[in-house]
Amino acid sequence: MVSEREISLAPIHRLIKRAGAARASEDAAEELRKILEEIGVAIAKEALSLAQYAGRRTVRREDIDRAARTLLRGYYSTQ
């Protein structure tokens, strides 16, 4: 049984093309989708921990930002 994904493949194909690829296989798009969803869930979990530590039930933008910086050290920059 295949688990339901949150992100559709069309935006994943656009991301791959934005990176410079002329074409991308369905397998490549599916793999990138899987990886991005796993990273997204990890960031969301870390952000939830930060919000709870601050005594809040609401996850804020700042929590997501700090969680991403923590988990993606070296990849995430301040644009």
- List the domain range (segments joined by +) for residue 41: 9-71
What is d(CA 24, CA 6) in angstroms, rounded to the nearest whole number?
A: 20
- Where does the pLDDT of residue 78 fall: very low under 50, low under 70, confident under 90, or very high at 90 and above? low
For residues 4-32, average pLDDT: 95
In a domain, 17, yes or no: yes
Say if 63 falls within a structural domain: yes
Mean pLDDT of 22-30: 97
Does the pLDDT at position 2 exceed 70?
A: no
Closest CA to 64 of 79, 46, 76: 46
Total domain count for the chain? 1
CATH number at residue 16: 1.10.20.10
Please tell me the distance from the alpha carbon of residue 9 to that of residue 17, in angstroms, as a whole number: 12
pLDDT at position 1: 38
Residue 45 lies in a domain: yes
Binned at pLDDT 50, 70 and 90, residue 29 comes out as very high
The verdict on residue 76 lying in a domain is no
Question: Is residue 4 in a domain?
Answer: no
9 CB burial (10 A radius; 0-12, 13-18, 19+): middle
